[in-house]
Amino acid sequence: MTTPASSPLLAALDELRAAVSSCAFPLDLPAAHEARRTQQSLADQLKDYILPRLNRLDAPLLVVVGGSTGAGKSTLVNSLVGRRVSQPGVLRPTTRSPVLVLHPEDRAWFAGNRVLPGLARTTGDGPAGVSLRLVTDETVPVGLALLDAPDVDSVVTENREMADQLLAAADLWLFVTSAARYADAVPWGFLRMAVERTVAVAMVLDRVAPQAVDEISAHLREMLTEQGLGQAPLFVVPEVPLDDDGLIPLTTVMPLRIWLGNLAADSAARAAVVRQTLEGAIAHLIGRTPFLVSAHAEQLEAIGRLRADVDRIYRAAGAQVTEGTADGSLLRGEVLARWQEFVGTGELLRSLERRIGWLRDRLAATLRGRPAPERELSEAVETGLEAMLRAAAESAAEQTSAAWRQTPAGTDLLDKDGAGLELVSPDFRDSASRAIRDWQGYVMQLVREEGSDKRSVARVLAYGVNGVGVTLMIVVFASTAGVTGAEFGVAGGTAIVGQKLLEAIFGDAAVRSLAARARKDLDARVETLLGSELRRYLGLLDALGVDPDVPDRLSAATHAAAGLR
Ligand SMILES: Nc1nc2c(ncn2[C@@H]2O[C@H](COP(=O)(O)OP(=O)(O)O)[C@@H](O)[C@H]2O)c(=O)[nH]1
Ligand SMILES: [Mg+2]
């Protein structure tokens, strides 16, 4: 009964293993804790049991001896072998390696990494706490290995976890309970799990006073039947004095020893045990993956919400800047003062409302031959624009942090890796000024190119490239401020002076096109600038490594494996 290594079920389960391990639950959401544990236990069971077992159905049976502390597991294993291979009694539990006893002929099956690949193998009494100690003995039947597992109710967490992991790797549980402890809750929790997963189980009622054997074994049988384990073989081992080596007399353990020997010798019986446990394990695996799918989806959903917060807030910030740089808001304070100084406007602006036609000549006359303070205007533009950008970026950072803090996941992320994210990035000032100066450079370049035309070159030269460029900026800043409408306020009125000047130089159509290009370039630079601000948040989300393809992949792998079962 070998399965070719390339069997479709094996391939499907291998894909399922990959899908299970690509799940991620980094955010502490409601299902995360349970999901991490489930992921670990399914991954363990696949690599420790299902895959190696399916790969080699003919490998020896792994019989794991489990049960609560002091039930007599180690003494029983020693007595079955006829010598002390595993330390009985309570020792320092953390320094103890579980013992696997097997026939020398079967050594190769267990010495490598075929089963329980995460556990190193030792042969001596090494101090290693997490290794499997292999002991060979001729009395163990070929085709069956006995593993003395740590106590399922150990006070040491690592030992309990090790017991879980070893039982999950077993073909057969040899579950030992004692007269004193057979009603305890913890072992029954394990037994119920075995029933749920249809693990093959044989029970040992150990350490029963000979006169109580009938009564207690009858009661235990009743409990087993109630719990759905009525079919499990039950071996009763009366508590008799141990021999000098601490072993139970051979006759007392003989029935169990014979049963194990027969099982090992009967390949059909062994195959039935393997099939029962393997099918149960696969069914359990397939039954649990939907929980991982939904827990992973829960992570994706939370990340999606956090991402949506970032997108929404920064998109609004971008829109706010776009609007603020077009509606005349920038044309106040220092910028307005410098602009008025630049065009020498007191009188100009007052006359503007009356006689626009007259303006062109008048303006040209005002500017000609007079040192234009365009450098100060240009600096005022830079300062005003930077303040606007900073205000938008500051408010976006503040709002995003606040929005994230409304969810536990966002709070968790900010607390762990989000130091300083509620402020603009430290180099914002530098990148903002660079963006603004680059834009100003671009605007100058536009003017220079447009002004290279024969007819306008003289006029551009007359006003100076810088003066014309900065005028174009003013026009851009008022592009939605009613320049052409009747209701212009200070901003609109201010800009219209510039508009007329540019039209006088380049003509109407060219001014429209210049303003549109300058605006487009400004918007793009603002988007880039805010983009690098928002990427700080998105970077945190990306670093979580929650792959959006996993739910589909896991569902598909589960479906495929279920279909091949
Ligand atoms: N008299 C007697 N003592 C036993 C028997 N089985 C176990 N013990 C003792 O009970 C204690 C715990 O046994 P141990 O095998 O270490 O139990 P484990 O914790 O399940 O491995 C040890 O001191 C053993 O000597 C038995 O059948 N008869
Ligand atoms: Mg023990």
Three-state secondary structure readout of 249-313: CHHHHHHHHHHHHHHHHCHHHHHHHHHHHHHHHHHHHHHHHHHHHHHHHHHHHHHHHHHHHHHHH
Q: Angle at which helices 267-324 and 250-265 pack, to 10 degrees?
A: 70
Q: Is 78 in the pocket of ligand 1 (CB under 6 A)?
A: no
152 CA → ligand 2 middle, Å: 10
87 CA → ligand 2 middle, Å: 7
Q: Is 154 in the pocket of ligand 1 (CB under 6 A)?
A: no
Atom of ligand 1 nearest to the CA of 148: 21
How many angstroms from the chain centroid is the CA of residue 548? 10
Phi/psi of residue 202, nearest 5 degrees: -120, 135
Q: How far is CA 4 from CA 9, 52, 270, 272, in A?
A: 10, 12, 19, 19
DSSP state of 439: H
126 CA → ligand 1 middle, Å: 23
Q: List all residues 6 or more positions away from 474 whose beta carbon is below 8 Å from its beta carbon.
A: 331, 335, 339, 381, 494, 495, 498
Atom of ligand 1 nearest to the CA of 89: 16
* pLDDT at res. 506: 87
Q: Tokens representing 171?
A: 């073909």
No. of helices (H) and no. of strands (E), the chain: 21, 8
Atom of ligand 1 nearest to the CA of 75: 15
Q: d(Cα 173, Cα 153) in Å, to the nearest integer?
A: 16
* pLDDT at res. 126: 57
Q: Is 242 in the pocket of ligand 1 (CB under 6 A)?
A: yes
DSSP state of 67: E
Protein residues placing their CB within 5 Å of the ion ligand 2? 73-74
215 CA → ligand 1 middle, Å: 21
Q: List all residues 6 or more positions away from 119 whose beta carbon is below 8 Å from its beta carbon.
A: 130, 131, 132
Which numbered ligand comes closest to the C-alpha of 86?
2
Q: Tokens representing 85?
A: 């291979």
User: Which of 17, 49, 250 is closest to 147 using CA atoms?
Assistant: 49
Residue nearest to atom 23 of ligand 1 (CA): 89
Residue nearest to atom 26 of ligand 1 (CA): 239
* pLDDT at res. 118: 87
Q: List all residues 6 or more positions away from 492 whose beta carbon is below 8 Å from its beta carbon.
A: 328, 478, 481, 482, 483, 485
Which numbered ligand comes closest to the C-alpha of 208?
1
Q: Is 141 in the pocket of ligand 1 (CB under 6 A)?
A: no
Q: Is 52 in the pocket of ligand 1 (CB under 6 A)?
A: no
Atom of ligand 1 nearest to the CA of 68: 20
262 CA → ligand 2 middle, Å: 25
Q: Is 498 in the pocket of ligand 1 (CB under 6 A)?
A: no
Residue nearest to atom 4 of ligand 1 (CA): 72
Which numbered ligand comes closest to the C-alpha of 84?
1
Atom of ligand 1 nearest to the CA of 67: 20
72 CA → ligand 2 middle, Å: 7
69 CA → ligand 2 middle, Å: 7
Q: Which fold has domain 61-265?
A: Rossmann fold (3.40.50)
Q: Is 207 in the pocket of ligand 1 (CB under 6 A)?
A: yes
Residue nearest to atom 9 of ligand 1 (CA): 72
Give the residue, out of 75, 174, 205, 247, with the most ligand 1 atoms within 8 A of its beta carbon, to mutate for a pocket test. 75
Q: Is 149 in the pocket of ligand 1 (CB under 6 A)?
A: no
Q: Is 195 in the pocket of ligand 1 (CB under 6 A)?
A: no
Q: d(Cα 252, Cα 244) in Å, to the nearest integer?
A: 16
Which numbered ligand comes closest to the C-alpha of 67?
1
Locate the domains of the chain by residue range. Answer: 61-265, 295-545
90 CA → ligand 1 middle, Å: 10
Q: Is 70 in the pocket of ligand 1 (CB under 6 A)?
A: yes
* pLDDT at res. 334: 85
Place of tokens 């671009």: 442
* pLDDT at res. 2: 47
Atom of ligand 1 nearest to the CA of 241: 1
77 CA → ligand 2 middle, Å: 9
544 CA → ligand 2 middle, Å: 42
Q: d(Cα 558, Cα 465) in Å, to the nearest integer?
A: 69
Q: Is 73 in the pocket of ligand 1 (CB under 6 A)?
A: yes
Phi/psi of residue 511, nearest 5 degrees: -65, -45
Q: Is 239 in the pocket of ligand 1 (CB under 6 A)?
A: yes
Atom of ligand 1 nearest to the CA of 69: 19
Q: What is the DSSP pairing of strand 99-102 with strand 144-148?
A: antiparallel
Q: Is 89 in the pocket of ligand 1 (CB under 6 A)?
A: yes
Place of tokens 């009661």: 219
Residue nearest to atom 27 of ligand 1 (CA): 239
* pLDDT at res. 266: 96
Q: Is 98 in the pocket of ligand 1 (CB under 6 A)?
A: no
Residue type, 511: V
* pLDDT at res. 361: 56
Phi/psi of residue 205, nearest 5 degrees: -95, 110
The one-digit pLDDT tens for each residue of the chain (565 residues) are 444 556 999 999 999 999 999 999 999 999 999 999 999 999 999 999 999 999 999 999 999 999 999 999 999 999 999 999 998 886 655 556 899 999 999 999 999 988 898 888 988 765 555 789 999 999 999 999 999 999 999 988 888 999 999 999 999 999 999 999 888 899 999 999 999 999 999 999 999 999 999 999 999 999 999 999 999 999 999 999 999 999 999 999 999 999 999 999 999 999 999 999 999 999 999 999 999 999 999 999 999 999 999 999 999 999 999 999 988 888 888 888 888 777 765 444 444 444 444 555 555 555 554 545 678 888 899 999 999 999 999 999 999 999 999 999 999 999 988 889 999 999 999 999 999 999 999 999 999 888 777 667 766 766 678 888 988 999 999 887 654 444 456 566 677 878 888 888 888 899 999 999 999 999 999 999 999 999 999 999 999 999 999 999 999 999 999 999 8
* pLDDT at res. 464: 74
